[in-house]
């Protein structure tokens, strides 16, 4: 399946613990959509969250976020893993 990197921007910053909670919700919601959220990164001060996801398409990845916690990404890019 293709890999996607999604980017969220949260005005005013974001807490790592809140992102961890949202990620756990993604993991619970992903299976019916054939999606696998693999990793995420957080820049707390800038309010940036980056999620790496294996999904059939960008729409499926967005659906999981919407159903899990409502925090849909601002941008989603299809990416290729490098060495």
CA-based end-to-end distance of the chain: 18
Per-residue pLDDT at 63: 97
- At the fourth CATH level, the homologous superfamily of domain 3-79 is ORF SCO4226, nickel-binding ferredoxin-like monomer (3.30.70.3090)
Spell out the domain ranges in the chain: 3-79
Quick one: pLDDT at residue 45?
A: 95
Q: What is the pLDDT of residues 40-56, one digit of tens each?
A: 999 999 999 999 999 99
Low-confidence ranges of the chain (pLDDT < 70): none
Q: What is the pLDDT of residue 37?
A: 97
What pLDDT is recorded for position 14?
Answer: 95
For 61-81, give one letter per residue: b (16+ CB within 10 A) or e: bbbbbeebbebebeebeeeee
């Amino acid at each position: 399946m293709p890999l996607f990197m999604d980017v969220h921007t949260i005005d005013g910053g974001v807490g790592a613990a809140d992102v961890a909670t949202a990620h756990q919700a993604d993991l619970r919601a992903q299976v019916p959509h054939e999606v696998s959220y693999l990793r995420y990164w957080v820049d707390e001060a800038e309010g940036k969250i980056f999620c790496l996801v294996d999904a059939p398409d960008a729409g499926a990845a967005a659906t999981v976020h919407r159903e899990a916690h409502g925090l849909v990404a601002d941008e989603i890019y299809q990416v290729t893993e490098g060495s």
